[in-house]
Protein backbone atom coordinates (compact mmCIF):
# COMPACT_ATOMS: atom_id res chain seq x y z
CA UNK A 1 0.00 0.00 0.00
CA UNK A 2 1.26 3.46 -0.86
CA UNK A 3 2.17 5.82 1.93
CA UNK A 4 -0.26 8.77 2.09
CA UNK A 5 2.65 11.22 2.16
CA UNK A 6 4.11 9.80 -1.06
CA UNK A 7 0.70 9.88 -2.74
CA UNK A 8 0.26 13.53 -1.82
CA UNK A 9 3.74 14.37 -3.12
CA UNK A 10 3.04 12.55 -6.40
CA UNK A 11 -0.29 14.32 -6.79
CA UNK A 12 1.29 17.69 -6.04
CA UNK A 13 4.01 17.16 -8.66
CA UNK A 14 1.45 15.98 -11.22
CA UNK A 15 -0.74 19.03 -10.60
CA UNK A 16 2.32 21.29 -10.87
CA UNK A 17 3.27 19.82 -14.27
CA UNK A 18 -0.32 20.19 -15.51
CA UNK A 19 -0.50 23.82 -14.32
CA UNK A 20 2.87 24.64 -15.93
CA UNK A 21 1.72 23.03 -19.18
CA UNK A 22 -1.63 24.84 -19.25
CA UNK A 23 -0.10 28.20 -18.35
CA UNK A 24 2.68 27.90 -20.93
CA UNK A 25 0.18 26.74 -23.57
CA UNK A 26 -2.10 29.69 -22.78
CA UNK A 27 0.80 32.17 -23.07
CA UNK A 28 2.09 30.53 -26.24
CA UNK A 29 -1.37 30.58 -27.82
CA UNK A 30 -1.87 34.21 -26.83
CA UNK A 31 1.43 35.25 -28.42
CA UNK A 32 0.99 33.23 -31.60
CA UNK A 33 -2.60 34.41 -31.99
CA UNK A 34 -1.49 38.05 -31.76
CA UNK A 35 1.45 37.49 -34.10
CA UNK A 36 -0.60 35.67 -36.77
CA UNK A 37 -3.69 37.86 -36.19
CA UNK A 38 -5.94 34.83 -35.73
CA UNK A 39 -9.27 35.30 -33.99
CA UNK A 40 -9.71 33.56 -30.66
CA UNK A 41 -11.91 30.49 -30.51
CA UNK A 42 -14.24 29.61 -27.68
CA UNK A 43 -12.67 27.85 -24.72
CA UNK A 44 -13.27 24.07 -24.74
CA UNK A 45 -15.07 24.18 -28.08
CA UNK A 46 -14.22 22.04 -31.04
CA UNK A 47 -15.74 23.42 -34.18
CA UNK A 48 -15.31 21.78 -37.53
CA UNK A 49 -14.36 23.79 -40.59
CA UNK A 50 -17.06 22.15 -42.71
CA UNK A 51 -19.10 18.94 -43.01
CA UNK A 52 -16.26 17.13 -44.76
CA UNK A 53 -13.98 17.90 -41.84
CA UNK A 54 -16.63 16.67 -39.41
CA UNK A 55 -16.98 13.34 -41.25
CA UNK A 56 -13.22 12.79 -41.43
CA UNK A 57 -12.83 13.74 -37.77
CA UNK A 58 -15.46 11.23 -36.70
CA UNK A 59 -13.87 8.50 -38.80
CA UNK A 60 -10.55 9.15 -37.05
CA UNK A 61 -12.15 9.18 -33.60
CA UNK A 62 -14.16 5.99 -34.14
CA UNK A 63 -11.09 4.26 -35.58
CA UNK A 64 -9.05 5.12 -32.51
CA UNK A 65 -11.87 3.98 -30.21
CA UNK A 66 -11.76 0.56 -31.91
CA UNK A 67 -7.98 0.51 -31.65
CA UNK A 68 -8.17 1.24 -27.92
CA UNK A 69 -10.90 -1.37 -27.41
CA UNK A 70 -8.92 -4.12 -29.14
CA UNK A 71 -5.51 -3.03 -27.84
CA UNK A 72 -5.60 -5.30 -24.75
CA UNK A 73 -6.41 -8.32 -26.95
CA UNK A 74 -3.55 -7.48 -29.29
CA UNK A 75 -1.13 -6.93 -26.40
CA UNK A 76 -2.10 -10.22 -24.75
CA UNK A 77 -1.49 -12.13 -27.98
CA UNK A 78 2.09 -10.83 -28.25
CA UNK A 79 4.94 -12.39 -26.25
CA UNK A 80 6.40 -9.00 -25.27
CA UNK A 81 4.84 -5.59 -24.83
CA UNK A 82 5.45 -3.35 -27.82
CA UNK A 83 6.22 0.34 -27.19
CA UNK A 84 4.13 1.46 -30.17
CA UNK A 85 1.06 -0.24 -28.71
CA UNK A 86 1.24 1.64 -25.42
CA UNK A 87 -1.87 3.79 -24.79
CA UNK A 88 0.21 6.92 -24.14
CA UNK A 89 1.96 6.59 -27.50
CA UNK A 90 -1.33 5.95 -29.29
CA UNK A 91 -2.87 9.03 -27.63
CA UNK A 92 -0.02 11.14 -29.00
CA UNK A 93 -0.64 9.65 -32.46
CA UNK A 94 -4.38 10.33 -32.09
CA UNK A 95 -3.88 13.97 -31.09
CA UNK A 96 -1.42 14.54 -33.92
CA UNK A 97 -3.73 12.89 -36.48
CA UNK A 98 -6.73 14.97 -35.41
CA UNK A 99 -4.79 18.24 -35.36
CA UNK A 100 -2.98 17.64 -38.65
CA UNK A 101 -6.35 16.89 -40.23
CA UNK A 102 -7.71 20.10 -38.71
CA UNK A 103 -4.80 22.16 -40.07
CA UNK A 104 -5.21 20.69 -43.57
CA UNK A 105 -8.93 21.46 -43.55
CA UNK A 106 -8.25 25.00 -42.27
CA UNK A 107 -5.61 25.51 -44.94
CA UNK A 108 -7.97 24.38 -47.69
CA UNK A 109 -11.35 25.72 -46.53
CA UNK A 110 -11.10 28.27 -43.69
CA UNK A 111 -11.61 31.95 -44.44
CA UNK A 112 -9.02 32.93 -41.81
CA UNK A 113 -5.83 32.49 -43.81
CA UNK A 114 -3.51 31.98 -40.81
CA UNK A 115 -5.64 29.63 -38.74
CA UNK A 116 -3.84 26.55 -40.06
CA UNK A 117 -0.48 28.09 -39.06
CA UNK A 118 -1.83 28.62 -35.56
CA UNK A 119 -3.00 24.99 -35.36
CA UNK A 120 0.37 23.69 -36.60
CA UNK A 121 2.33 25.89 -34.19
CA UNK A 122 0.12 24.82 -31.29
CA UNK A 123 0.62 21.15 -32.19
CA UNK A 124 4.39 21.63 -32.45
CA UNK A 125 4.42 23.31 -29.04
CA UNK A 126 2.46 20.48 -27.42
CA UNK A 127 4.71 17.86 -29.04
CA UNK A 128 7.82 19.73 -27.90
CA UNK A 129 6.50 19.95 -24.34
CA UNK A 130 5.70 16.22 -24.21
CA UNK A 131 9.04 15.32 -25.81
CA UNK A 132 10.86 17.56 -23.32
CA UNK A 133 9.11 15.89 -20.38
CA UNK A 134 10.03 12.43 -21.64
CA UNK A 135 13.64 13.38 -22.41
CA UNK A 136 14.11 14.83 -18.91
CA UNK A 137 12.27 11.82 -17.44
CA UNK A 138 9.74 14.27 -16.01
CA UNK A 139 12.62 16.02 -14.22
CA UNK A 140 13.16 12.73 -12.31
CA UNK A 141 10.15 13.64 -10.18
CA UNK A 142 8.33 10.35 -10.54
CA UNK A 143 11.10 7.84 -9.81
Secondary structure string (H, E, C) spanning the chain: CCCHHHHHHHHHHHHHHHHHHHHHHHHHHHHHHHHHCCCCCCCCCCCCCCHHHHHHHHHHHHHHHHHHHHHHHHHHHCCCCCHHHCHHHHHHHHHHHHHHHHHHHHHHHCCCCCHHHHHHHHHHHHHHHHHHHHHCCHHHCCC
Higher model confidence: residue 64 or residue 83? 64
Give pLDDT, residue 110.
87
pLDDT digits (tens, 9 = 90+) for 8-62: 777 888 898 899 999 999 999 999 999 999 988 776 667 888 999 999 999 999 9
- CA dist 14 and 45 (Å) reads 25
The answer to whether 56 touches 101, Cβ cutoff 8 Å, is yes
Model confidence at 111: pLDDT above 80: yes
Average pLDDT, the chain: 86
**Tally of domains within the chain:** 1
pLDDT digits (tens, 9 = 90+) for 24-36: 999 999 999 999 9
pLDDT digits (tens, 9 = 90+) for 97-106: 999 999 999 9
C-alpha distances in Å from residue 63, one per residue of 69, 90, 94: 10, 12, 10
Model confidence at 143: pLDDT above 90: no
Query: Within its chain, how far is the Cα of 101 from the centroid?
Result: 13
- CA dist 89 and 92 (Å) reads 5
- Which residues form the domain of 135? 4-39+46-140
Task: Confirm whether pTM is higher than 0.75.
Answer: yes
Q: What percentage of the chain has pLDDT greater than the value 70?
A: 90
Amino acid sequence: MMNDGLGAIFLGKLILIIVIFLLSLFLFNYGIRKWLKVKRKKFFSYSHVNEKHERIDWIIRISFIFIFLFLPIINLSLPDSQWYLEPSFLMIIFINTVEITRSIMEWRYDSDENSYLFTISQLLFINFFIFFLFITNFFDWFI
